[in-house]
A and B are shown apart, each in its own frame.
Chain A
Protein backbone atom coordinates (compact mmCIF):
# COMPACT_ATOMS: atom_id res chain seq x y z
CA UNK A 1 0.00 0.00 0.00
CA UNK A 2 3.02 2.30 0.31
CA UNK A 3 3.11 2.65 -3.46
CA UNK A 4 -0.09 4.71 -3.35
CA UNK A 5 0.13 8.48 -3.63
CA UNK A 6 -1.60 10.45 -0.88
CA UNK A 7 -4.50 11.26 -3.23
CA UNK A 8 -4.90 7.59 -4.17
CA UNK A 9 -4.74 6.58 -0.50
CA UNK A 10 -7.38 9.15 0.38
CA UNK A 11 -9.64 7.88 -2.40
CA UNK A 12 -9.13 4.28 -1.29
CA UNK A 13 -9.86 5.20 2.33
CA UNK A 14 -13.09 7.04 1.45
CA UNK A 15 -14.15 4.08 -0.69
CA UNK A 16 -13.57 1.77 2.29
CA UNK A 17 -10.88 -0.16 0.39
CA UNK A 18 -8.01 0.93 2.63
CA UNK A 19 -7.91 0.86 6.41
CA UNK A 20 -6.56 4.24 7.57
CA UNK A 21 -5.09 2.85 10.79
CA UNK A 22 -3.28 -0.02 9.03
CA UNK A 23 -2.03 2.37 6.38
CA UNK A 24 -0.67 4.79 9.00
CA UNK A 25 0.98 1.90 10.86
CA UNK A 26 2.68 0.69 7.66
CA UNK A 27 4.10 4.17 7.12
CA UNK A 28 5.21 4.37 10.72
CA UNK A 29 7.16 1.12 10.20
CA UNK A 30 8.68 2.51 7.02
CA UNK A 31 9.71 5.72 8.81
CA UNK A 32 11.40 3.57 11.46
CA UNK A 33 13.80 2.29 8.80
CA UNK A 34 15.40 5.71 8.35
CA UNK A 35 19.06 5.25 7.44
CA UNK A 36 19.37 8.77 6.02
CA UNK A 37 19.41 10.73 9.32
CA UNK A 38 16.26 12.33 7.92
CA UNK A 39 14.11 12.18 11.08
CA UNK A 40 15.09 14.01 14.27
CA UNK A 41 12.05 12.78 16.21
CA UNK A 42 9.46 10.06 15.66
CA UNK A 43 6.47 9.27 17.91
CA UNK A 44 7.29 6.97 20.78
CA UNK A 45 4.13 7.27 22.85
CA UNK A 46 5.18 10.86 23.63
CA UNK A 47 3.16 12.61 20.92
CA UNK A 48 0.58 13.86 23.43
CA UNK A 49 -1.09 16.95 22.03
CA UNK A 50 -0.36 16.18 18.40
CA UNK A 51 -1.76 12.66 18.35
CA UNK A 52 -4.37 11.86 15.68
CA UNK A 53 -6.85 9.35 17.06
CA UNK A 54 -8.77 8.72 13.85
CA UNK A 55 -6.54 9.02 10.80
CA UNK A 56 -8.44 9.83 7.61
CA UNK A 57 -5.68 10.99 5.31
CA UNK A 58 -2.07 9.99 4.59
CA UNK A 59 0.35 10.50 7.52
CA UNK A 60 2.87 13.28 7.08
CA UNK A 61 6.43 14.26 8.00
CA UNK A 62 6.96 17.78 9.33
CA UNK A 63 10.12 19.89 9.12
CA UNK A 64 11.51 20.46 12.59
CA UNK A 65 10.96 24.21 12.20
CA UNK A 66 7.24 23.89 13.04
CA UNK A 67 6.32 24.09 16.71
CA UNK A 68 4.54 20.97 17.96
CA UNK A 69 3.04 21.09 21.43
CA UNK A 70 4.99 18.96 23.89
CA UNK A 71 7.10 17.43 21.11
CA UNK A 72 10.78 18.35 20.60
CA UNK A 73 11.29 21.20 18.12
CA UNK A 74 14.91 22.13 17.42
CA UNK A 75 15.02 23.97 14.06
CA UNK A 76 18.20 21.92 13.56
CA UNK A 77 19.94 23.96 16.26
CA UNK A 78 21.78 23.05 19.44
CA UNK A 79 20.32 26.16 21.04
CA UNK A 80 16.82 24.60 20.99
CA UNK A 81 17.90 21.13 22.08
CA UNK A 82 15.27 19.71 24.41
CA UNK A 83 12.77 22.48 23.65
CA UNK A 84 9.15 21.33 23.79
CA UNK A 85 6.89 24.17 22.61
CA UNK A 86 3.71 24.96 24.56
CA UNK A 87 1.66 25.26 21.34
CA UNK A 88 1.34 23.87 17.82
CA UNK A 89 1.96 25.73 14.54
CA UNK A 90 -1.20 26.55 12.57
CA UNK A 91 -0.02 24.59 9.50
CA UNK A 92 0.49 21.45 11.62
CA UNK A 93 -2.82 22.07 13.40
CA UNK A 94 -4.57 22.05 10.02
CA UNK A 95 -2.93 18.72 9.14
CA UNK A 96 -3.98 17.19 12.46
CA UNK A 97 -7.53 18.53 12.04
CA UNK A 98 -7.61 17.01 8.54
CA UNK A 99 -6.77 13.61 10.11
CA UNK A 100 -3.11 13.31 9.05
CA UNK A 101 -1.00 11.53 11.70
CA UNK A 102 2.42 13.14 12.25
CA UNK A 103 5.08 10.60 11.19
CA UNK A 104 7.95 12.60 12.64
CA UNK A 105 9.96 15.81 12.62
CA UNK A 106 12.54 16.09 9.86
CA UNK A 107 16.15 17.20 9.93
CA UNK A 108 17.08 20.57 8.41
CA UNK A 109 19.83 23.15 8.11
CA UNK A 110 20.06 25.11 11.36
CA UNK A 111 17.29 27.74 11.38
CA UNK A 112 16.75 26.91 7.67
CA UNK A 113 20.05 28.50 6.70
CA UNK A 114 21.70 26.35 4.07
CA UNK A 115 21.34 24.60 0.72
CA UNK A 116 22.73 21.16 1.58
CA UNK A 117 21.44 20.20 5.05
CA UNK A 118 25.07 20.10 6.20
CA UNK A 119 24.43 22.98 8.64
CA UNK A 120 22.24 20.85 10.92
CA UNK A 121 23.57 20.53 14.47
CA UNK A 122 22.35 16.92 14.30
CA UNK A 123 24.39 15.81 11.29
CA UNK A 124 23.72 15.92 7.56
CA UNK A 125 20.83 14.13 5.82
CA UNK A 126 21.93 11.70 3.10
CA UNK A 127 20.44 11.80 -0.39
CA UNK A 128 18.42 8.58 -0.95
CA UNK A 129 19.67 8.40 -4.58
CA UNK A 130 23.32 8.41 -3.51
CA UNK A 131 24.25 8.46 0.16
CA UNK A 132 27.52 10.21 -0.61
CA UNK A 133 25.57 13.25 -1.79
CA UNK A 134 23.51 15.99 -0.15
CA UNK A 135 19.70 16.06 -0.38
CA UNK A 136 19.72 19.85 -0.75
CA UNK A 137 18.46 22.24 1.85
CA UNK A 138 17.34 23.68 3.98
CA UNK A 139 14.36 21.25 4.07
CA UNK A 140 16.67 18.30 3.27
CA UNK A 141 14.98 15.90 5.67
CA UNK A 142 11.50 16.54 4.29
CA UNK A 143 12.71 15.95 0.72
CA UNK A 144 14.68 12.82 1.66
CA UNK A 145 11.81 11.13 3.53
CA UNK A 146 9.45 11.49 0.58
CA UNK A 147 12.03 10.45 -2.04
CA UNK A 148 13.39 7.65 0.13
CA UNK A 149 10.01 6.09 0.92
CA UNK A 150 10.03 7.09 4.59
CA UNK A 151 6.87 9.23 4.28
CA UNK A 152 4.17 9.63 1.61
CA UNK A 153 4.40 13.43 1.79
CA UNK A 154 5.90 16.16 3.96
CA UNK A 155 5.91 19.87 4.68
CA UNK A 156 8.87 22.22 4.72
CA UNK A 157 9.64 25.89 4.42
CA UNK A 158 11.11 27.96 1.61
CA UNK A 159 12.87 31.29 2.22
CA UNK A 160 15.11 31.43 -0.87
CA UNK A 161 14.62 27.97 -2.38
CA UNK A 162 14.54 25.64 0.63
CA UNK A 163 11.58 23.61 -0.71
CA UNK A 164 12.24 23.74 -4.45
CA UNK A 165 15.99 22.97 -4.44
CA UNK A 166 15.87 19.87 -2.17
CA UNK A 167 12.79 18.63 -4.08
CA UNK A 168 14.83 18.95 -7.30
CA UNK A 169 17.89 17.21 -5.87
CA UNK A 170 15.75 14.34 -4.53
CA UNK A 171 13.57 13.88 -7.63
CA UNK A 172 10.20 14.86 -6.16
CA UNK A 173 7.68 17.73 -6.36
CA UNK A 174 8.16 20.81 -4.16
CA UNK A 175 5.89 23.85 -4.12
CA UNK A 176 6.55 27.27 -2.65
CA UNK A 177 3.16 28.99 -2.52
CA UNK A 178 2.59 32.75 -2.77
CA UNK A 179 3.81 34.59 0.32
CA UNK A 180 0.80 34.71 2.64
CA UNK A 181 -1.01 31.63 1.27
CA UNK A 182 -0.23 29.58 4.40
CA UNK A 183 0.00 30.77 7.99
CA UNK A 184 3.47 31.24 9.47
CA UNK A 185 2.16 31.05 13.06
CA UNK A 186 4.35 28.66 15.02
CA UNK A 187 6.87 28.36 12.18
CA UNK A 188 10.22 29.36 13.71
CA UNK A 189 11.20 32.60 11.98
CA UNK A 190 14.29 32.95 9.80
CA UNK A 191 13.51 35.84 7.41
CA UNK A 192 9.90 36.79 8.07
CA UNK A 193 9.24 38.69 4.83
CA UNK A 194 10.30 35.62 2.79
CA UNK A 195 9.51 32.48 4.84
CA UNK A 196 6.69 30.37 3.42
CA UNK A 197 5.45 26.85 4.22
CA UNK A 198 4.81 24.39 1.39
CA UNK A 199 4.38 20.75 0.30
CA UNK A 200 6.86 18.00 -0.65
CA UNK A 201 5.07 15.28 -2.61
CA UNK A 202 5.62 12.49 -5.12
CA UNK A 203 3.41 14.14 -7.71
CA UNK A 204 1.55 17.33 -8.57
CA UNK A 205 -1.90 16.11 -7.54
CA UNK A 206 -0.63 15.37 -4.02
CA UNK A 207 0.84 18.89 -3.90
CA UNK A 208 -2.60 20.32 -4.80
CA UNK A 209 -4.31 18.28 -2.08
CA UNK A 210 -1.75 19.27 0.55
CA UNK A 211 -1.91 22.95 -0.41
CA UNK A 212 -5.71 22.79 -0.12
CA UNK A 213 -5.35 21.57 3.47
CA UNK A 214 -2.64 24.05 4.47
CA UNK A 215 -3.79 27.30 2.87
CA UNK A 216 -6.02 29.87 4.48
CA UNK A 217 -6.12 33.07 6.44
CA UNK A 218 -5.16 32.66 10.08
CA UNK A 219 -6.06 35.18 12.78
CA UNK A 220 -2.75 34.28 14.47
CA UNK A 221 -0.69 35.48 11.46
CA UNK A 222 -1.66 38.97 10.30
CA UNK A 223 0.37 38.52 7.08
CA UNK A 224 -1.58 35.42 6.03
CA UNK A 225 -4.22 35.95 3.36
CA UNK A 226 -4.95 32.45 2.04
CA UNK A 227 -6.01 31.68 -1.53
CA UNK A 228 -9.28 32.93 -3.00
CA UNK A 229 -10.33 29.33 -3.63
CA UNK A 230 -8.90 26.11 -2.25
CA UNK A 231 -6.99 24.38 -5.05
CA UNK A 232 -8.74 21.59 -6.95
CA UNK A 233 -6.94 18.44 -8.10
CA UNK A 234 -5.48 19.29 -11.51
CA UNK A 235 -6.52 17.32 -14.60
CA UNK A 236 -5.39 19.51 -17.49
CA UNK A 237 -3.69 17.50 -20.23
CA UNK A 238 -2.40 20.16 -22.61
CA UNK A 239 -0.70 23.52 -22.51
CA UNK A 240 -2.54 25.03 -25.48
CA UNK A 241 -2.48 28.81 -25.51
CA UNK A 242 -0.10 29.09 -22.55
CA UNK A 243 3.05 31.16 -22.85
CA UNK A 244 6.26 30.18 -21.01
CA UNK A 245 9.10 32.65 -20.58
CA UNK A 246 12.74 31.60 -20.29
CA UNK A 247 14.79 34.38 -18.65
CA UNK A 248 17.59 35.34 -21.03
CA UNK A 249 19.48 36.95 -18.15
CA UNK A 250 19.65 33.68 -16.25
CA UNK A 251 21.35 31.73 -19.03
CA UNK A 252 24.51 31.21 -17.04
CA UNK A 253 27.56 29.17 -17.84
CA UNK A 254 27.46 27.59 -14.41
CA UNK A 255 24.58 25.28 -15.37
CA UNK A 256 25.81 21.68 -15.61
CA UNK A 257 25.60 20.29 -19.16
CA UNK A 258 23.33 17.44 -18.00
CA UNK A 259 20.94 19.88 -16.30
CA UNK A 260 20.87 22.09 -19.39
CA UNK A 261 20.07 19.09 -21.58
CA UNK A 262 17.11 18.03 -19.42
CA UNK A 263 15.91 21.65 -19.25
CA UNK A 264 15.94 21.96 -23.03
CA UNK A 265 14.21 18.61 -23.50
CA UNK A 266 11.50 19.83 -21.11
CA UNK A 267 11.03 23.03 -23.12
CA UNK A 268 10.50 20.83 -26.18
CA UNK A 269 7.86 18.85 -24.27
CA UNK A 270 6.06 22.10 -23.40
CA UNK A 271 5.92 22.92 -27.11
CA UNK A 272 4.76 19.39 -27.82
CA UNK A 273 1.81 20.01 -25.48
CA UNK A 274 0.89 23.21 -27.33
CA UNK A 275 2.67 25.71 -25.08
CA UNK A 276 4.68 28.58 -26.49
CA UNK A 277 8.25 29.33 -25.42
CA UNK A 278 10.00 32.69 -25.72
CA UNK A 279 12.83 34.50 -24.01
CA UNK A 280 12.14 37.27 -21.57
CA UNK A 281 14.41 39.77 -19.92
CA UNK A 282 14.47 39.91 -16.11
CA UNK A 283 17.31 42.44 -15.89
CA UNK A 284 17.46 42.60 -12.11
CA UNK A 285 17.15 38.88 -11.37
CA UNK A 286 20.93 38.45 -11.54
CA UNK A 287 21.15 40.71 -8.48
CA UNK A 288 18.75 38.46 -6.59
CA UNK A 289 21.47 36.61 -4.67
CA UNK A 290 23.09 39.88 -3.55
CA UNK A 291 19.80 41.38 -2.40
CA UNK A 292 18.74 38.13 -0.75
CA UNK A 293 21.98 37.73 1.19
CA UNK A 294 21.46 41.21 2.64
CA UNK A 295 17.71 41.01 3.37
CA UNK A 296 17.54 37.46 4.75
CA UNK A 297 20.54 37.82 7.14
CA UNK A 298 19.26 41.25 8.24
CA UNK A 299 15.89 39.79 9.20
CA UNK A 300 17.56 36.75 10.75
CA UNK A 301 19.88 38.83 12.92
CA UNK A 302 16.79 40.46 14.37
CA UNK A 303 14.68 37.27 14.65
CA UNK A 304 17.44 35.25 16.31
CA UNK A 305 18.01 37.81 19.07
CA UNK A 306 15.36 35.92 21.05
CA UNK A 307 17.68 32.94 21.65
CA UNK A 308 19.46 34.28 24.70
CA UNK A 309 19.14 31.51 27.28
CA UNK A 310 16.29 33.21 29.14
CA UNK A 311 12.89 32.02 27.88
CA UNK A 312 13.52 28.68 26.17
CA UNK A 313 16.23 26.39 24.90
CA UNK A 314 19.68 25.94 26.35
CA UNK A 315 21.60 28.19 28.71
CA UNK A 316 25.36 28.03 29.22
CA UNK A 317 27.88 29.78 31.43
CA UNK A 318 27.70 33.06 33.30
CA UNK A 319 26.48 31.79 36.65
CA UNK A 320 26.91 35.24 38.12
CA UNK A 321 27.01 37.49 35.06
CA UNK A 322 24.09 38.06 32.67
CA UNK A 323 26.14 39.34 29.73
CA UNK A 324 28.55 36.42 29.99
CA UNK A 325 25.56 34.06 30.05
CA UNK A 326 24.14 35.59 26.83
CA UNK A 327 27.50 35.37 25.11
CA UNK A 328 28.32 31.81 26.17
CA UNK A 329 24.82 30.55 25.34
CA UNK A 330 24.93 32.04 21.84
CA UNK A 331 28.56 31.05 21.20
CA UNK A 332 27.86 27.43 22.14
CA UNK A 333 24.29 27.21 20.87
CA UNK A 334 24.65 28.55 17.31
CA UNK A 335 26.60 26.86 14.51
CA UNK A 336 29.02 28.65 12.17
CA UNK A 337 26.54 29.45 9.35
CA UNK A 338 24.05 31.00 11.75
CA UNK A 339 26.81 33.12 13.32
CA UNK A 340 27.96 34.17 9.85
CA UNK A 341 24.48 35.35 8.91
CA UNK A 342 23.85 37.13 12.21
CA UNK A 343 27.08 39.06 11.67
CA UNK A 344 26.26 39.83 8.03
CA UNK A 345 22.78 40.98 8.95
CA UNK A 346 23.87 43.07 11.90
CA UNK A 347 26.51 44.71 9.71
CA UNK A 348 23.99 45.42 6.92
CA UNK A 349 21.62 47.05 9.40
CA UNK A 350 24.25 49.07 11.23
CA UNK A 351 24.19 52.84 11.23
CA UNK A 352 26.18 54.21 8.31
CA UNK A 353 25.78 51.02 6.23
CA UNK A 354 22.00 50.68 6.37
CA UNK A 355 21.24 52.67 3.20
CA UNK A 356 24.09 51.12 1.20
CA UNK A 357 23.11 47.54 2.03
CA UNK A 358 19.62 47.01 3.45
CA UNK A 359 17.98 50.04 1.81
CA UNK A 360 19.57 49.28 -1.55
CA UNK A 361 18.64 45.56 -1.32
CA UNK A 362 15.01 46.46 -0.67
CA UNK A 363 15.03 48.63 -3.80
CA UNK A 364 16.50 45.76 -5.82
CA UNK A 365 13.64 43.67 -4.46
CA UNK A 366 11.16 46.20 -5.86
CA UNK A 367 12.88 46.02 -9.28
CA UNK A 368 12.91 42.20 -9.31
CA UNK A 369 9.19 42.09 -8.48
CA UNK A 370 8.57 44.67 -11.23
CA UNK A 371 10.55 42.55 -13.74
CA UNK A 372 8.25 39.60 -13.01
CA UNK A 373 5.11 41.78 -13.26
CA UNK A 374 6.24 43.00 -16.67
CA UNK A 375 6.96 39.42 -17.80
CA UNK A 376 3.54 38.26 -16.64
CA UNK A 377 1.87 40.91 -18.84
CA UNK A 378 2.83 38.80 -21.87
CA UNK A 379 3.49 35.38 -20.33
CA UNK A 380 1.65 32.92 -18.11
CA UNK A 381 4.77 31.42 -16.52
CA UNK A 382 8.49 31.88 -16.10
CA UNK A 383 10.54 28.67 -16.25
CA UNK A 384 14.12 27.82 -15.23
CA UNK A 385 16.11 24.84 -14.04
CA UNK A 386 15.48 24.64 -10.28
CA UNK A 387 19.15 24.19 -9.44
CA UNK A 388 22.25 24.72 -11.61
CA UNK A 389 23.48 21.23 -10.73
CA UNK A 390 22.27 17.81 -9.65
CA UNK A 391 22.93 16.77 -6.04
CA UNK A 392 26.55 17.49 -5.13
CA UNK A 393 28.82 15.50 -2.83
CA UNK A 394 28.78 15.79 0.96
CA UNK A 395 31.48 18.28 1.96
CA UNK A 396 31.98 19.50 -1.61
CA UNK A 397 30.86 23.08 -1.00
CA UNK A 398 31.13 23.52 2.76
CA UNK A 399 34.51 25.29 2.57
CA UNK A 400 33.15 28.11 0.41
CA UNK A 401 29.96 29.76 1.75
CA UNK A 402 29.60 32.01 -1.31
CA UNK A 403 29.65 29.00 -3.69
CA UNK A 404 26.91 27.46 -1.52
CA UNK A 405 24.84 30.66 -1.72
CA UNK A 406 25.09 30.71 -5.52
CA UNK A 407 23.15 27.41 -5.61
CA UNK A 408 20.05 29.48 -4.95
CA UNK A 409 20.50 31.52 -8.13
CA UNK A 410 17.31 30.28 -9.81
CA UNK A 411 15.05 30.14 -6.77
CA UNK A 412 15.81 33.38 -4.91
CA UNK A 413 14.22 35.87 -7.39
CA UNK A 414 10.75 34.27 -6.96
CA UNK A 415 11.11 34.42 -3.18
CA UNK A 416 12.00 38.10 -3.30
CA UNK A 417 8.96 38.73 -5.52
CA UNK A 418 6.73 36.62 -3.24
CA UNK A 419 5.32 34.62 -6.18
CA UNK A 420 4.50 30.89 -6.27
CA UNK A 421 6.89 28.43 -7.91
CA UNK A 422 6.95 24.66 -8.23
CA UNK A 423 9.79 22.23 -8.94
CA UNK A 424 8.89 18.99 -10.71
CA UNK A 425 11.28 16.16 -11.60
CA UNK A 426 12.10 16.47 -15.31
CA UNK A 427 14.61 13.69 -15.91
CA UNK A 428 17.97 12.30 -14.90
CA UNK A 429 21.42 13.64 -15.68
CA UNK A 430 24.99 12.67 -15.04
CA UNK A 431 26.78 14.91 -12.51
CA UNK A 432 29.53 17.17 -13.90
CA UNK A 433 32.21 14.98 -12.31
CA UNK A 434 30.70 11.76 -13.72
CA UNK A 435 28.85 9.00 -11.89
CA UNK A 436 25.36 7.50 -11.85
CA UNK A 437 22.51 9.68 -13.10
CA UNK A 438 20.63 11.89 -10.63
CA UNK A 439 17.33 13.79 -10.76
CA UNK A 440 16.96 17.23 -12.34
CA UNK A 441 14.23 19.67 -11.32
CA UNK A 442 12.27 22.01 -13.60
CA UNK A 443 10.95 25.19 -12.00
CA UNK A 444 7.73 26.92 -13.06
CA UNK A 445 6.82 30.30 -11.52
CA UNK A 446 3.44 32.02 -11.79
CA UNK A 447 1.93 35.36 -10.75
CA UNK A 448 0.94 35.80 -7.09
CA UNK A 449 -2.07 33.68 -6.08
CA UNK A 450 -2.17 31.84 -9.45
CA UNK A 451 -1.55 28.49 -7.72
CA UNK A 452 -4.38 26.68 -9.52
CA UNK A 453 -3.08 27.66 -12.93
CA UNK A 454 0.44 26.70 -11.84
CA UNK A 455 -0.67 23.26 -10.61
CA UNK A 456 -2.73 22.65 -13.77
CA UNK A 457 0.24 23.39 -16.05
CA UNK A 458 2.69 21.44 -13.85
CA UNK A 459 0.33 18.45 -13.95
CA UNK A 460 0.04 18.50 -17.74
CA UNK A 461 3.82 18.69 -18.05
CA UNK A 462 4.32 15.96 -15.43
CA UNK A 463 2.17 13.59 -17.49
CA UNK A 464 4.21 14.28 -20.60
CA UNK A 465 7.53 13.85 -18.78
CA UNK A 466 6.37 10.61 -17.10
CA UNK A 467 9.33 10.62 -14.73
CA UNK A 468 9.29 7.09 -13.37
CA UNK A 469 12.66 6.75 -11.70
CA UNK A 470 13.04 6.32 -7.94
CA UNK A 471 15.92 5.63 -5.55
CA UNK A 472 16.60 1.95 -4.93
CA UNK A 473 14.46 0.56 -2.13
CA UNK A 474 11.74 3.20 -2.47
CA UNK A 475 8.22 1.69 -2.42
CA UNK A 476 7.12 3.51 -5.56
CA UNK A 477 8.35 4.29 -9.05
CA UNK A 478 7.88 7.93 -9.92
CA UNK A 479 4.40 8.57 -11.26
CA UNK A 480 3.92 5.24 -13.02
CA UNK A 481 0.38 4.95 -11.67
CA UNK A 482 -0.63 7.73 -14.02
CA UNK A 483 -1.53 6.88 -17.56
CA UNK A 484 1.44 7.14 -19.85
CA UNK A 485 1.52 9.53 -22.76
CA UNK A 486 4.69 8.04 -24.21
CA UNK A 487 7.19 5.32 -23.58
CA UNK A 488 8.14 6.81 -20.22
CA UNK A 489 11.41 8.11 -18.80
CA UNK A 490 14.60 6.40 -17.82
CA UNK A 491 14.64 3.52 -15.40
CA UNK A 492 15.64 4.16 -11.81
CA UNK A 493 18.40 2.35 -9.94
Chain B
Protein backbone atom coordinates (compact mmCIF):
# COMPACT_ATOMS: atom_id res chain seq x y z
CA UNK B 1 0.00 0.00 0.00
CA UNK B 2 2.96 2.37 0.62
CA UNK B 3 3.83 2.26 -3.10
CA UNK B 4 0.21 2.98 -4.12
CA UNK B 5 0.00 5.94 -1.75
CA UNK B 6 3.26 7.37 -3.10
CA UNK B 7 1.92 7.11 -6.65
CA UNK B 8 -1.29 8.92 -5.69
CA UNK B 9 0.58 11.65 -3.79
CA UNK B 10 2.88 12.17 -6.74
CA UNK B 11 -0.15 12.81 -8.96
CA UNK B 12 -1.81 15.02 -6.38
CA UNK B 13 1.43 16.99 -5.93
CA UNK B 14 0.91 18.62 -9.35
CA UNK B 15 -1.28 21.24 -7.71
CA UNK B 16 1.68 22.41 -5.61
CA UNK B 17 3.17 23.87 -8.80
CA UNK B 18 0.22 26.22 -9.32
CA UNK B 19 0.68 29.81 -8.18
CA UNK B 20 -2.44 30.43 -6.12
CA UNK B 21 -1.11 33.15 -3.88
CA UNK B 22 -4.00 35.29 -2.64
CA UNK B 23 -6.77 32.92 -3.86
CA UNK B 24 -9.51 32.39 -1.27
CA UNK B 25 -9.91 28.71 -0.35
CA UNK B 26 -13.40 27.22 -0.89
CA UNK B 27 -14.81 25.11 1.91
CA UNK B 28 -18.44 25.41 0.88
CA UNK B 29 -19.86 26.06 -2.60
CA UNK B 30 -23.23 27.58 -1.77
CA UNK B 31 -23.37 30.96 -0.09
CA UNK B 32 -25.11 30.46 3.21
CA UNK B 33 -25.68 32.67 6.18
CA UNK B 34 -25.67 31.13 9.58
CA UNK B 35 -29.19 31.21 10.97
CA UNK B 36 -30.14 30.13 14.44
CA UNK B 37 -33.39 28.27 14.79
CA UNK B 38 -35.92 29.19 17.40
CA UNK B 39 -34.94 27.86 20.80
CA UNK B 40 -37.92 25.59 21.19
CA UNK B 41 -37.68 22.18 22.83
CA UNK B 42 -38.70 19.26 20.65
CA UNK B 43 -38.70 15.51 21.02
CA UNK B 44 -35.47 13.71 20.36
CA UNK B 45 -34.66 10.00 20.10
CA UNK B 46 -35.46 8.13 23.32
CA UNK B 47 -32.28 6.96 25.02
CA UNK B 48 -32.99 3.24 24.63
CA UNK B 49 -33.64 3.69 20.88
CA UNK B 50 -30.40 5.60 20.41
CA UNK B 51 -28.49 2.96 22.38
CA UNK B 52 -30.06 -0.05 20.65
CA UNK B 53 -27.56 -0.29 17.75
CA UNK B 54 -24.52 -0.11 20.10
CA UNK B 55 -22.36 -3.26 20.47
CA UNK B 56 -22.43 -3.10 24.28
CA UNK B 57 -25.07 -0.83 25.80
CA UNK B 58 -25.46 -1.05 29.55
CA UNK B 59 -27.37 0.99 32.16
CA UNK B 60 -28.35 3.67 29.63
CA UNK B 61 -24.76 4.18 28.45
CA UNK B 62 -22.17 2.87 25.97
CA UNK B 63 -19.79 0.43 27.67
CA UNK B 64 -16.20 0.24 26.43
CA UNK B 65 -13.16 -1.77 27.54
CA UNK B 66 -10.84 -0.15 30.03
CA UNK B 67 -8.87 2.79 28.60
CA UNK B 68 -5.94 1.69 30.74
CA UNK B 69 -4.22 -1.32 29.20
CA UNK B 70 -3.25 -3.97 31.71
Contact = CB atoms under 8 A, between A and B. Distances in A.
Q: Decide if the interface of chain A is mainly helix, strand, loop or mixed.
A: helix
A85 B52 CA distance: 9
Interface string B23-55: 111111110100101000000010001101111
B8 A193 contact: no
- 3 closest Cβ pairs, A-B complex: A418-B29, A362-B25, A315-B55
A336 B64 CA distance: 26
Given A310-B55, A364-B18, 15 more contacts: A287-B15, A291-B15, A293-B12, A294-B12, A311-B54, A315-B55, A321-B66, A322-B64, A325-B64, A340-B5, A347-B9, A360-B15, A362-B26, A364-B20, A448-B29
14 contacts: A193-B29, A223-B30, A312-B54, A320-B65, A321-B70, A322-B67, A340-B4, A360-B16, A361-B15, A367-B20, A401-B7, A401-B8, A405-B11, A448-B29
Nearest to A289: B11
Category for how many chain A residues contact B? 35 or more
A335 interface: no
A86 B53 contact: yes
Given A290-B12, A293-B8, A324-B69, A314 B55 contact: yes
Given A312-B53, A315-B56, A325-B64, A362 B69 contact: no
A363 B55 CA distance: 41
A318 B25 CA distance: 41
B50 A86 contact: yes
Given A340-B5, A361-B15, A402-B8, A369 B29 contact: yes
Interface of A: 83-87, 178-180, 193, 219, 222-223, 225, 284, 287, 289-291, 293-294, 309-315, 318-325, 336, 339-340, 343-344, 347, 356-357, 359-367, 369, 401-402, 405, 416-418, 448
Point out which of B35, B37, B54 has the most chain A C-beta atoms below 10 A from its C-beta.
Answer: B54
B22 to A, nearest CB: 9
Given A361-B15, A369-B26, A402-B7, A321 B65 contact: yes
B26 A365 contact: yes
B28 to A, nearest CB: 6
A86 B54 CA distance: 11
Given A312-B53, A357-B12, A223 B32 contact: yes
A359 B15 contact: no
Contacts of A343: 1, 5
A225 B33 CA distance: 11
Given A312-B54, A344-B8, A322 B66 contact: yes
B16 A356 contact: yes
A360 B30 contact: no
Contact of B8 (A225, A291, A365, A405): A405
B50 A219 contact: no
A229 B37 CA distance: 23
Contacts of B45: 86-87
Contacts of B37: 219
